[in-house]
Amino acid sequence: MSLAHDPTEDRSASLTIRPAAAWRVQAVETLSNYRLKVRFVDGLEGIVDMQMMIWSTGAGVFEALRDPAVFAQAHVELGVVTWPGELDLAPDAMYDEIKAHGTWVLD
């Protein structure tokens, strides 16, 4: 039996990667006052409130998000909310808090 492969065949068009874990983020929208509206792959939606954390003295790398233009660059990459500069939020912790309370307040 031969498993010959035609090297001119484009097989990438049929490849679709879909994160299966319920806590994977599907969409993010930036809101006023350093908040995010997120939707997960299972349909759960909620708010992430980052204002206290971003403006705290211990903000660390998240201090960069104080600039509204940088905060507005939030996007989803492989099921995770990310920003330029390799900043991201733990989607599993976000999911658990939103499922329990509807909001995840980071302080």
Per-residue pLDDT tens listing for the chain (107 residues):
445 555 555 555 555 555 568 899 999 999 999 999 999 999 999 999 999 999 999 999 999 999 999 999 999 999 999 999 999 999 999 999 999 999 999 99
DSSP assignment letter at 58: T
pLDDT value at residue 22: 86
Distance CA 87, CA 107 (A): 16
Distance CA 82, CA 53 (A): 16
Neighbour order of strands in the sheet with 80-83: 75-77, 80-83, 87-88
Looking at the structure, give the CATH architecture of the domain made up of residues 22-105: 2-Layer Sandwich (3.30)
